[in-house]
Structure formats: structure tokens, C-alpha cells
Amino acid sequence: MDLQFDSETYWNRSSRAAFSFDDEDEVDLAPDLASNGILADDTISEASFNNSATLNLSIKSILSEDALKLVLQEQALDDRVLPKGVSPEEELKLLRRQLQSTLYSPNLEATAQKLLQGKTAPLEMFKSLQEKQQLLDTLLAQGGGHAVITVLLFLKRTLNALQFHAILRERPRALEQYLSYLKESGDLASHIELLQRFGRHQEAALKQFQAALASGDLGTRKKHLQLLADAYATAGVGIIPLYEQVFHAALKMQQLMEKETGLGKLLRAQPTPVEVLYACCQANSNWKEQDMLKPISPQRFAADQQISAAQYEWTALNERAQAQAYADLECIFERVPSWHPLKTKQFHISFDLTLAVLRLYELQAPSTVLQLFLSKMGNSGEKLALARRVKCIRAVIDAMAGLKQQQELQQLKDTLPERSEEQFYCENALKSLQSKRWTTDNIKLKL
Amino acid sequence: MDKKLQGFQLVAQEKLCSILGSIPGKKELILEPALIKPLEHVFTASWLKLKGIQRIYKHDAAQSLPRSSDQVHIYMIRSVLGTFQTLLKQLESVALEEMADLSLKMYHIICVPCCYSYFQTLLEQSGLWGLVQLHHFNWDFIYLDQGVLSLELPNLFECLYLQGNTSPLPSVAQSLRLLQMICGQPALIMTFGHHSAQLIQILRALGKLPEATNPPEYGGWLIIDRDKDYPATLLTPAIYAGLLLEVFDQRSGEIVVDNLKNKISSQRVELLQGKKPKVGPNPSSKPCSIRLNSTADEIYGDNRYKRFAQVSSLIHAQVKALGLELQKLNDMQLEEMHDYVARKLPKLTELKTKVLRHLNASEIVIQMMVNFRRLQTLEEDILNNVSRKRLLAEIDELMTTDGQRFNTLRLMCLLHHCAGVTPEELQIFARNFCNLFGHQNLIVFQQLSQAALLPPLVAEKKVPATKLLSQLPLPKFQQTEFQANANRLKLLTSCGDGQDGANSSTKNQAGGMQSCPSYVFNGTYIPLVAQLCSILLKTNNAEELSSKLTMIEGLHLHMDGGKITPKAYANQVKVNGTADQDVFPLRLRNLFVFVVGGASYAEIAACDFVAKLTGAQITVASDSLMAGSDLIATAFTH
């Protein structure tokens, strides 16, 4: 295929971009693969990379020739290849040295340095336990990096499990590296086994939990969670209350999802507790008296999952407002005071009222609903500001009345449309304000 | 100097060229998608063509690419074990069937930035030894912007701080070695933290350098560990570049501005998002990108380190001015118009598209950061540890009503780092967090405790003593390590108990004049790197340095003789009576700063500010540039 990179036609053609160089586009490669490479139709814009064009730099001005040679030489992974053009004597010397280091005495420093550079270095001649440990310790002291893992893999291959674990036990940093290797390689079983061997049961439990949640179908997920929850409680290695609680909550939720298949339809795969709560709210029809015996009644579910009051209220508020079932909102925020169950219900909210009002406004709740929430605000000044922000005139009037702003009320009344409900409301507020001023209600009451 | 730093690109080209040159045959390059953006800074498609690459493909982990018998496939991937293993599996099924001639290597894998030495072992184990050849390629520092370098290694923080895996360190040391070759040996290297010191050690272990031909460029290097200054990433920045990174995804010095989704909105639980953003009149409007490079984008260059509020009004003004300019066209004579259209108009329209892009971006930022002021006050209180109880309640309320997966957790981490969070408080928070974002996030808390961002949770039975202790209220005078160090180095500028004159930034803000690098955090905090830079630049002798940095653990100077504390160095100078050989004051007033584990734009801006104040030049480099949410997000990749 003839690719004309720099010609006009190429760039024009590239604009139709069947195929983007961008990694966000999930393009199916298959049909294009055989016929077209990316370059034939990419969208890299040559114009945006003018660095090299304007740089006007030569490599020589940056690096000396020796330095560049060194850089390139260090980049080569396999330097066992003999350099070309050396005299026979030198070649003999080189070979002798290599033989020496492969067969007899291992060269600690050279090996460590090679490994650090990522080069291949033979490890087989590190035979004795002491040599092996020395090699590992040298690398650990130097900061090690991936070379430590290389050596650990070598040790695992050439030592029995007892020795290998003894080495790890004495070197916590090596253990960390090895664990990280196991984790990345996806060898979950060995990872968990090693964690448990070294007494890190909490981390092992977390890993098992992770694995259980990741399993695809509901049945196995439930089974694994059940096993884990039981084992964790009885293992006798101490428990972290949070872990225990989350394990149980996850199990309970799986059981619920299994029973209530209707809920699943409302949700994406692997929903979070709050998302399930949202679905419960959607499914709930009786907000006045929630049936606490039904596991999918929102309040019961929230209690089972230990969802905080604030989270419960916020979720329900959002769901009911989205569903435009504003009448239910009152039930959510009404609470029988626990210290006196016979007392009438009281309004109670677990987060800032302002946030509730703003969210309701955002969800286009009618102004009567906004007024209901605004009426619960104590501070009339704040109430006035907020009411203005959400354009709830009645609440503005209430707040003004609360602040005894007669003049402002009068002005407001004049701007309201003639004979509208709001105007009447405003008029009433004005009247009550005036009448209150002249009567002696307060004194009478006291008498 | 900037030219030299841009020269890294040439070296990278040479390096890749020598790899490609060593491979004979009809070459096809298969790239891991995530590599494409950074690679664009190294070469162009036509450069590759020139080097004999016939086609480039995007690597697809799910689908292997068929190869015709005369082609050589070169894969380029990041040195991540998982990716490498998947690729090997993919090649196993193809390559082993072919039973190709072993002398002809038809498959090559180039690992970026480093071929881990155990990859060879894995290659052998998978039976592909001889069929597949491994290479490594390190592009070293990518010059993103004036004074900003990045290695573009996205997983370094996760590896080093969360997993205790130092695998990527040697390649970072190699890049620093190359920097030494290009810019010369500095008179002084100061490191703060374990990994930083280790980097210098590896650098030494890598061997001697050839004689430098160029004069040295930097008077000093400053290398610090990310965990020595978490607040510099965890706090919300107040500057333009920093906020852009808070809201938009960044890849290799480029942000993607998408009207429909961004970094913040994707952190929220969708069901509780409130009203869906209205899809504009043009729903298919393509996301556009802004390069964070001052030569490519002069508007960015003018505004990058200014306060966001200021920038936003500047951009508005600029849009207005441009509109007026374009209106002039209507009042012109035909002749004039010709001239105008031919000469000025193209430039103006180009400028206009750029300005509009920034306008759009800054408007999305404003829209997304509705809580900005509240957040700033909260962060300031956290820094100064004012009424802890209320702070916890506020974080909880923010999570409930505007839950952002990473940013909420970020506040908690900040609180722990600055004031300390007890395991009991964390458990309550974690339970609410898991309820909102899913049970699978339980492990995140363990991960973050590895990096000392959160307290570790301890099993109850084992240590009853600590539990009792933690139940006691923390005594007031007990300082966290952060508070102690921050006080010693005078990093906190808003706590109000009579700081020295230089730190009265809050008063000057009204006038738009900033006198303190803490302006990047609205006058509350000076990033540690900036403070250390200014100390290095202002110090006159070793004694002074030692007294300024007294009692700070983990800080070392690296001289020819090895690692030494500032105090020991001062003593050494005193005892030897060689005051004239003292490296202070620094003769070359250029500094190179490297942050191990990701730098933030707030740090870069603060360093830039210090540089301007002291008439020096400071280059900030890191393995990647990140916002606080990116840092927290690394704990979620399990």
C-alpha cells in the first residue's frame, strides 16, 4: 500500500477518520485490520507536534558521542553478544572473564548492576544459601526495584518452601515486593495463602471478600460471601467491626437480590446499597406506614444495611422528587421522637435544610413543596435569601413577615400580578403584621 | 536551558531508532492505546514511517492480530505485569502454532519504560523464548511546558506507596542519570524521604558518567517523596491550571473538555445527580482538547498560574474585545476589508477559537465547583485543625449530598494527615462510603492506610491497649507529624498567630498582588517544595541551612562522599574550616525539583512564583502530573 504521509491528500483523507488514534473510541478493529493499518487513517495531527521542527537542535549539542553510546549500550538488554572488531587477545580475555563469572565465582556487584538495568544476567551460579541471601540483600540495599522480584523468583525455584519463607520472614520489604508481584500476576490463591502464612489475616479476608464480590453469578457470590462471613467470625484472629459488618451487609444484600427479582430489573449489575435503596423507594407504595416486616421497605432496608439517616433521607428525597410524588416527602421527614413514642410526629432532617431546598428546586418541585421545607427554617434572614434564590414567593412573604419588613412587603405586593393567589397571600401577611402590631395579644395571653 | 530539556525528545528518538534498527524485516508496530498520547511527544507518524514501520495498530487485549509470514510484529506496552502476561498468552496461541524458524524473530515486545528482569523468566516459562524478543524503551523526561517535565508513568504512586513495590524506581534513576549527562552534575542534591534517597543510591549504583562536555545547568537538585507533602495535592488549588486538572482528564499535557462528562461528574452516583445537564443544541458537539503548553496556546501561557477568579474574568474580557474587533469588519471599505481578511482575520479567528475553548472550559469549572467556597473554608479549618467534630460532620454531609467518590475520600485523607482520624471515626465514614459507592470499596481503606493517608484498622482482640488509648480524647497539645513539620517550615500561612511579614498574603489578596507562594491555595498553605526551594536559594551558608531545617527527619544532602544531614554538613564545614568550599550560597541559581509520586500544578505554580521572586529558574519534574482526585483514584485500581 502506498502511504503518502506528507501529501495534501493524505491529510484530507485522514479527516474522515474511520479509525481514531484516540484510545477512548471503542472501535471494533476487526474489519479494518486486514485492509488498513492505523496510519492509513489516523487523526494524529502532524501540525500539533511541531517540536521537532522548531527545535533546531542536533543531538550532538546535547550529548557527547560517548554519552550517547553509553545510553544506547545501556538500553540493549543482552550484552552477552561480543563486540565486533576486537583483537583476538582481547576477545580471549573477555571470554575468560565471562567463563569465570558463569562457572565459578559469581560476581555480586556486576550481577546486581545488570539486573537493575533490566539486562539478562545468569543467576544459576548463586548456589549456596549465603550467596543467594547476599544477592538479595545487595539489591534490597540498593533500592532493588524489579530486580528483587527476579531474584525472589529465582530463590523460589531453587529453594524449598521452608527456606524461601524464612528469607521472606526476615525481610519485610522483600515480602511486600513479592506480595505485590503475586497480586499483579493475578495469582490470588497464592497471594491469600502467603498473607495468611505471615499472619496478615485481615488483608487476606479483604482479598477473599474482593474475590467473592467479583465472581460473576449471584449463586457463587452468595456462597463465597457466606463462607467468608462464617470463617471470619470464627477464625479467632480478631475482628475489625467494620469488616464484619460489611461482609454481613453484602451477604444480606445478595440474599435480598436473589429473592426480590423485581428489584434487580430496576438496577444495573452489582449495585451499591444506596442504589438498591433507591430502587426500594421506587417500589414502595406506602410511605405513611412503612411495613418494617418487608425487607424491601426502604426503612427496613436502610436499617438492615446500616445506611445512615442522612443517606436514607437524601436518597428518598431524590427518588420521590424525581417521581414527582411530593406528598410523600412529608412522611420521610416525620419522625416520632424516640424518647416519647406517644408524642405526635415531628419534622426532622439530618442534613442542612438549604441543601434539601436547593435540590428540590433543581428537580423542579412546585413552590408549595419548597414552601413546606422553607417554613421549617428558623432564621428568617437566611430563609428570605434562600426563598428568593429558589423563587418561592410565598416563602419570601413568610420570611418578610417574620422579619417584620412591612415596607418591603408592600413593595412586593405591588409587583405581584393583580388578584393572583400570591397577592392575596401577601395581603394577608401584611394584615396580620399590622393587626399584631396594634393588638395586645401578648399581654392578654399572659393575663 | 529549555532547549536542552526539549532535547530529551531527540535522545528518545535515537534510542527508539536503535531498537528499530536492530530488527530486520517488514515491521508493523502495535501500540498499547495508553501509550499513544505520550508517544506523540516523542515522534510523529511520518518519523516512524521513515524508520521502516509500515503500519501502526492499536493493541487490543481481546483480539490477536493476524500476521502474514513476512511481517515482523513489534508490540509496545507499558511494563505492567498484567499487560505483559495477557500479551504473552495472546502470542502463545499464535506464535507457537507457526513453528517459525527460531533464527528469525518475528515477534518483539518493547516494554516502556523498562523491561523488568523477571519478564525474561516469564517469557521462558511461557515457552516463547527464542520466538519473542524483549526490548525496553524509556522516553525519559517529556517536556510538557516551560519549566514542566513529566516521565508519564501513571502507576508510580500506586506501586511505591500503596504496594511497597519499587520496581519502577531503577528506570526513574536512569532518567535522572540521563539528565545528569545532559545538564551536568549539580553542586548539591537534597532529598527528602525514603524513595528519594534510594533513587540517588540507584543512580550511584548505575555507574560513572562520561566526562560532561557542557557546563552544568543546575546548581541544585531537590528530590522529595510525595508522602512528605500530601496537602499540596490533596488541597483544592485556586489557580487556573490546577483547577483545570481538577475538572478535566489530563493525558500527557493535554486536557479533554467534554460538555457531557468530566472528572467530577463521573465521580458521582448517577441516580443522585439531580437534574441531568441539558444536552445542548448540538448534542454531537465533539469534545475538544486544550494543550497545557504555553508556546502552543498563548492564552494558557498567560494565565496558567494565575488565580482562577482572575483568569475567568480576563477570558470574558478577551472574548468581548475579540467580538468588537471582528465587528469592525462591518464598517470597513471594500479595499480595507480585502486587506483585513487576508492578513488579520485568520489570526483573529484562530485566537477566537482558542479563547472560546478556554471560556467553555472555565465555565464548566465554575459549574462543577459549586461548593468551591465551602470547600476552601473546610480545607482551611482542616489544615489548622479547627473544631474537629464539626469537620467530620461536614465531610459526612458533603458525602451524603454531593458524594464524589474520590474527592470526599480526599478530604478525609487530608483530615487524617493534618489532624489525625481515629479508627472509630474512620469506621463510621467507611461504612457510609461503602453504602454509597459499593461494598467492593472496602479494600480502598486498607490501601490508603498503607500510604499513611488513613489510619490502619486494627483487629479488636489483639491490641486492647491501643483501643483504650484511642478512645481517650486527643489532648490538645499533641501534634501530628504534619503539624510539627509545617510549623517548623512555616508552611501554614492562615493560622493567624503572628507569622513573619512575608506571609501576610491574605491581606494583599484583595489588591490582586501576591507576595507569598501560598496564593496557590488561597493563602492557606505553601507547598513544601516551594518552601524548600526558597530556603535553598536564600541560604548563605551551611550553618544557616542547618538551622532552618533543624529537627526535620528524613532530609539529606548528597555530596560526593555520600548521604549526610544538613546539620552534619554544617559541622563538617565548620570543623574543616573550609567555609570557602561551602556550596552555599548556590552559585548556579537554577534548581531542578523532582517529586516522586506525582506533582500537582499548585506546586509547579508555587515554585514558579519562588523562582520569579528570587530571580532563579526552577524546573519541576515528576513521574506524572496529578490532581488530588487522581492520587486517591490510584487506590481504586484493584
Residue in B9, B58, B158 to test binding to A, most A beta-carbons within 10 Å? B58
For residues B526-535, give the mean pLDDT: 94
Q: Do B459 and A118 touch (CB under 8 A)?
A: no
Instruction: Give the model confidence (pLDDT) of B409-424 as tens digits.
Output: 999 999 999 988 888 9
* Max CA pair span of chain A: 124
Average pLDDT, integer, range B58-87: 87
Minimal-distance CA residue of chain A relative to B207: A113
Q: How high is the pLDDT of residue A45?
A: 37
Domain residues for the domain of A60 are 8-68
Mean predicted confidence (pLDDT) in B42-63 = 86
Higher pLDDT: B578 or B558? It is: B558
Task: Name the CA dihedral angle for B440, B445, B450, B456, rounded to a multiple of 10 degrees.
Answer: -130
Three-class SS string for B435-475? HHHCHHHHHHHHHHHHCCCCCCCCCCCCCHHHHHHHHCCCC
In contact, A240 and B457? CB cutoff 8 Å? yes
Residue A190, Cβ density class (10 Å: 0-12 exposed, 13-18 middle, ≥19 buried): middle
Does residue A170 sit within a domain? Answer: yes
The whole-number pLDDT of residue B284 equals: 52
Q: Sorting pLDDT into bands at 50, 70 and 90, what band is A341?
A: low
pLDDT digit string (tens) for A187-196?
Answer: 999 999 999 9
Which residue is listed with cell 503475586?
A182
Cβ-based neighbour number of residue A57 at 10 Å: 16
Query: Which of B37, B169, B462 lies closest to A145 in CB terms?
Result: B169
Q: What residues does each domain of chain B span?
A: 2-138, 140-229+527-638, 240-269+288-368
Closest to A320 (Cα-Cα) out of A291, A281, A267, A265 = A281
Query: For B450-569, where are the E strands, in sequence order?
Result: 555-559, 562-564
- How many structural domains is chain A composed of? 3
pLDDT at residue B387 above 50?
yes
Question: Model confidence over A26-76: pLDDT tens digits?
Answer: 333 333 333 333 433 343 433 334 444 456 677 777 788 888 888 888 887
Mean pLDDT of chain A: 79
pLDDT at residue A401, as a whole number: 86
Instruction: Read off the pLDDT band of A269 (50, 70, 90).
Output: confident
pLDDT band at residue B277 using 50, 70 and 90 as cut-offs: low
Average pLDDT over every residue of A391-407: 87
Provide CB contacts within 8 A for A395, sequence distance 6+: A367, A370, A371, A374, A375, A383, A386, A387
Q: Do A115 and B437 touch (CB under 8 A)?
A: no
A98 backbone dihedrals φ, ψ, rounded to 5°: -65, -45
Mean pLDDT of A381-397: 89
Q: Do A38 and B57 touch (CB under 8 A)?
A: yes
Residue B8: is its pLDDT beyond 50? yes
Average pLDDT over residues B261-282: 72
Within this chain, domains B2-138 and B140-229+527-638 share the same CATH topology: yes
- Which amino acid is it at B526? I
> Which pLDDT value is given to residue A405?
84
B334-354 average pLDDT score: 83
The mean per-residue pLDDT over the stretch B205-228 comes to: 85
Mean pLDDT within A391-411: 87
Q: How far apart are CA B412 and CA B418, in angstroms?
A: 10
- Residue A32 forms part of a structural domain: yes
Task: Indicate whether A271 belongs to any domain.
Answer: no
CATH number of B2-138: 3.40.50.2060
| End position of a domain, from candidates A68, A99, A119 | A68
Chain A residues whose CB is inside 8 A of the B83 CB are none
> Whole-angstrom Cα distance, residue B365 to residue B371?
11
B409-412, long-range: CB < 8 A, 24+ apart: B409/B433, B409/B444, B409/B448, B409/B632, B410/B234, B410/B628, B410/B629, B410/B631, B410/B632, B411/B234, B411/B378, B411/B379, B411/B382, B412/B454
- Higher per-residue pLDDT: B471 or A326: A326
Predicted TM-score (pTM) of this structure = 0.87
* pLDDT for position B536: 92
Residues A361 and A424 in one domain: yes
Q: Return the minimum-mean-pLDDT range out of A151-160, A251-260, B92-101.
A: B92-101
**pLDDT tens-digit readout, B138-188:** 999 999 999 999 999 998 999 999 998 899 999 999 999 999 988 888 889
Specify the pLDDT at position A28: 35
Q: Work out how many CB contacts closer than 8 A connect A with B.
A: 327
Question: A122 in a domain, yes or no?
Answer: yes
Q: What percent of chain B has pLDDT over 90?
A: 44
Question: pLDDT digits over B538-564, tens only?
Answer: 988 888 888 888 888 889 998 776 788
| A243–B14 C-beta distance less than 8 A | no
The DSSP string of A239-276 is: --HHHHHHHHHHHHHHHHHHH-HHHHHHS-SS--HHHH
Average pLDDT over residues B583-588: 86
Q: Return the pLDDT at B349.
A: 85
Pick B136's closest partner by Cβ from A75, A185, A241. A75
Q: What is the mean pLDDT of residues B440-457?
A: 92
Please report the pLDDT score of residue B499 as a whole number: 40
Cβ within 8 Å, pair A318-B275:
no
Q: What is the pLDDT of residue B43?
A: 87
Candidate from B211, B396, B446 with C-beta closest to A203: B446
- Top CATH class, B140-229+527-638: alpha beta
Predicted confidence (pLDDT) per residue in B302-316, tens digit: 999 999 999 999 999
Please say whether the structural domain B240-269+288-368 has been given the CATH code 3.90.830.10: yes
| Per-residue pLDDT band at B447 (split at 50, 70, 90) | very high
**Residue A167 to residues A129, A154, A185, A203, B531, Cα–Cα distance (Å):** 10, 13, 21, 21, 42
Average pLDDT estimate for B397-405:
90
* Residues of chain A above pLDDT 70, percent: 79
Three-class DSSP category at B28: strand
**Residue A183 covered by a domain:** yes
Q: What pLDDT band is residue B317 in, cutting at 50, 70 and 90? A: very high
Q: How many Å apart are CA A172 and CA B184, to the nearest integer?
A: 37
Instruction: Kindly determine whether residue B164 and residue A176, on different chains, have CB atoms separated by under 8 Å.
Output: yes
Measured between beta carbons, the chain B residues lying within 8 angstroms of A243 are: 442, 457
Q: Do A52 and B9 touch (CB under 8 A)?
A: yes
Q: How far is the C-alpha of A213 from the C-alpha of A216, rounded, in Å?
A: 8
What is the phi/psi pair of residue B260, to 5°? -95, -35
Q: Which three cell numbers stand for residue B250?
A: 489530563
Q: Is the predicted pLDDT of residue A81 greater than 80, yes or no?
A: no
| Crossing angle of the two packed helices A146-158 and A129-141, in degrees rounded to 10 | 170
Q: CA B442 to CA A243: how far, in whole Å?
A: 8
A369 in a structural domain: yes
What stretches of A142-200 show up as alpha helix (H) in DSSP?
146-158, 161-170, 172-185, 188-197
- CA torsion sign, B414 to B416 to B417 to B419? positive
- pLDDT for position B206: 82
Residue A277 contacts residue A259 (beta carbons within 8 Å): no
Instruction: Return the residue of B nearest to A77 by Cα.
Output: B135
- By C-alpha distance, the chain A residue nearest B206 is A113
**Predicted local confidence at residue B129, as pLDDT:** 84
Distance, CA of B543 to CA of A77 (rounded, Å): 46
Angle at B205 between CA B202 and CA B211, to 5 degrees: 110
- Are B611 and B604 within 8 A, CB to CB? no
Chain B: residue nearest A301 by CA? B435
Q: What is the DSSP string of A349-396?
A: -SS-HHHHHHHHHHTT--HHHHHHHHTT-S-HHHHHHHHHHTT-HHHH
For residue B137, pLDDT over 90 is answered with yes
Q: Which of B165, B223, B405 to mutate to test the interface with A (most CBs of A within 10 A)?
A: B165
What is the C-alpha separation between B81 and B474, in angstroms, rounded? 44
CA nearest to A139 within chain B: B202
Q: What is the mean pLDDT of residues A355-377?
A: 89
- Compute the distance between CA of residue B303 and CA of residue A106 in angstroms, rounded to an integer: 58
B61: which strand partners?
none
